Structure 1
Amino acid sequence: MIEVALRHRFGQGWGAARRAGFALDAAFAVPAAGVTALFGPSGCGKSTILAAVAGLLRPQAGRVAIGGEVLLDTATRAFVPPERRRCGLVFQDARLFPHLSVETNLRYGLRRAPRGAAGPDMAEVVMLLGIGHLLHRRPAGLSGGERQRVALGRALLSRPRLLLMDEPLAALDAARRAEVLPFLARLRDAAGLPILYVTHALDEVDALADQMVLLEEGRVLAAGPVEALTARTDLAPLAGRRDAGVLLPCVVGDAADGLRLLEFAGGALLTTAQPGPPGTRLRVRIRARDVAVATEEPRGLSTRNILPVTIAAIDAAGEAGEVFLRLAAGPTTLLARVTRDSVARLALRPGLPVWALIKAVTFDHRAPPATPWEVPACPG
């Protein structure tokens, strides 16, 4: 487990810290495997938590432990220095040495690896990140996406036991973000390292994260598996978004007429997207605003996805005149955002069997990453 419990208040006044008056009081425990996203708006404390885990910030009170090894415990005055924590850091800006070649930047990371530490070698990292053609170039001659891939490689070659990534894609435009995301997914699957990933971009969470820690104003609102949190309507930072919806694990099946089948526990969806060959595992975001319901089985519609479901609950949506319908498709929960007028007009109530309508063209047509395990075909 990765255990984090921190309390820290930045000073007041003009001469104090840049975030004067901000108070962090956050605690969570997540598995020491896969990717845990620290998610929330700017200024909620995500990067402060990462700094404390790395040892770059010494909080006023708290405890940090990884796999049972205590890195920080203010109660016993335990504090492992940053250089001994074996945390690989990747920031928004790649922070490469500008006067060194890509290869020399990578070898710098390798020189920082503890003697005898297990991990990928230079050739494996270069192949994993697709940077072999860049080895003799300098950072100034790289695109933003290429620089971030090199920074990932340098961090990985230091053979950390935990990778800390502080909004690594925030400084990139949409095209460069789309370039780097597949390599992050590949890194997650191949490296086997636990990763704490700071972001306020929901599509990055959809693409990469196994667990989510949802933060607001320095406090943890919820923590747990990403699929479970996206299905909750009581978490305003998620449910209050116009792209709110569930993250649905699927397996690509066969279909015809230019369509692909996405099979999930409780049903299947047809899509015009091309998420990969049959057998590909992925996750799709089903936005609540894209789901309609009917009290009678529809006929004569262009909509291809008509799923028999049952209304499990009707929850407030945070917007005047709107509600969320929680729909049970077997063991799977879907969300539909509808008007209160529709609820009254159709006499919708918990326990009522209805049909959920989802257009096949709802899903994005972006090609999946090279390693498409749990990567969304339809990011939020």
Structure 2
Amino acid sequence: MLALDIVLERGARNGGGFRRHVSIRDDARVIALAGRSGAGKTSVLHAIAGLLTPCEGRIEVDGRCLFDSVAGIDVPVHARHVGYMFQDARLFPHLDVRGNLGYGRRGQGAATFGFDDVVALLGIGALLERRTTHLSGGEAQRVALGRALLSQPRILLLDEPLTNLDQARREELIPYLQRVRDETALPIVYVSHSADEVERLTRAVHTLD
């Protein structure tokens, strides 16, 4: 189950003068972050992943402290074991699908998610030899999700992964997101502006003001 405890303040020294206090506690394994643009949803994900350093506060995921300004704890990005799926797939154009998936396994220890299992889970076996430029938006996002899983994460962060897809591609991808939710034990934090997506993929919702 997910135990997420975040107190985040982002001050001017982190860029742009943006300042936000976010406090979330939830024992649900899958939660959604909702709210208007600029409310700090992506900043919360970046703080969990270690891509943004809070001015102060504490970040705890599944009983493991990742950041504590008082105790002087700031776990490096590579040691946080976070799988991050962005709005755009961010695949490597010089690699085919197999190469992109394999990149996620570099430098990792024992595998929780095996290559063949992830390929089967996401239905991307027929895509392995394709260049990324020959993928549809939905296919590219499935590959990006596979790469995130193959990084052997302890938590999965999904930052509006359907935003750049048309309705048909969204409907194509949602069942695969549901499979990841239902067939893995990963804690998941899902950011979306879409109430329909949130309802179909999560049960616990936190709205940032």
Range into which the TM-score falls when normalised by the shorter chain: over 0.9
Return the letter of the residue paired with 1:200: H
- The answer to whether the 8 A contact 1:32-1:66 is kept is no
| TM value normalised by structure 1 | 0.53
Counterparts of 1:165 and 1:153 in 2: how far apart (Å)? Answer: 12
Matched, 1:31 2:27: yes
Under a length normalisation based on structure 2, what TM-score does the superposition of the two structures give?
Answer: 0.95
Question: Is 1:69 aligned to 2:64, yes or no?
Answer: yes
1 or 2, which has the higher strand percentage?
A: 1
Query: Counterpart in 2 of 1:56?
Result: 51
Q: How do 1:3-152 residues align onto structure 2 when only pairs under 5 Å count?
A: 3-10=5-12, 17=15, 20-31=16-27, 33=29, 35-113=30-108, 115-117=109-111, 119-152=112-145
Deviations 1:166-216 (A, max 9, x none): 111111111111110010001100111000111111111011012111111
Counterpart contact for 1:3–1:30, Cα < 8 Å: yes
Q: How does 1:199-278 map to 2 (within 5 A)?
A: 199-216=192-209
Q: Distance in 1 between matches of 2:151 and 2:184?
A: 12
- Match of 2:10, SS state, is strand
Question: How has the CA–CA distance of structure 1 residues 81 and 2 changed in structure 2, closer, same or farther, with 3 Å as cutoff?
Answer: same
RMSD: 1.3
How many residue pairs were aligned?
207
Pairing 1:191–2:184 present: yes
Q: Which runs of 5+ in 1 are unaligned?
A: 217-380
Counterpart Cα distance in 1 of 2:80 and 2:189? 14
* Secondary structure, aligned partner of 1:61: coil
Which one scores higher on RCO, CA 8 angstroms, separation ≥ 6? 2
Aligned to 2:160: 167
1:32 touches 1:67 (CA, 8 Å); kept in 2? no
Shift in Å, 1:9: 2.2
| Letter aligned with residue 178 of structure 1 | E
Of Structure 1 and Structure 2, the greater helix share is in 2
Deviations 1:84-111 (A, max 9, x none): 0000010011011101010111111122
Distance 1:85 1:112 in 2: 13
Runs of 4+ in 1 over 3 A off after TM superposition: none
CA distance in 2, matches of 1:94, 1:170: 11
| Contact 2:86–2:158 (Cα < 8 Å) also in 1 | yes
Cα deviations by residue, 1:151-173 (Å, 9 ceiling, x for unpaired):
00000011100001111111111
One-letter amino acid of the counterpart of residue 206, structure 2: V
Per-residue CA distance 1:198-243 (angstroms, 9 max, x = gap): 1111111011012111111xxxxxxxxxxxxxxxxxxxxxxxxxxx
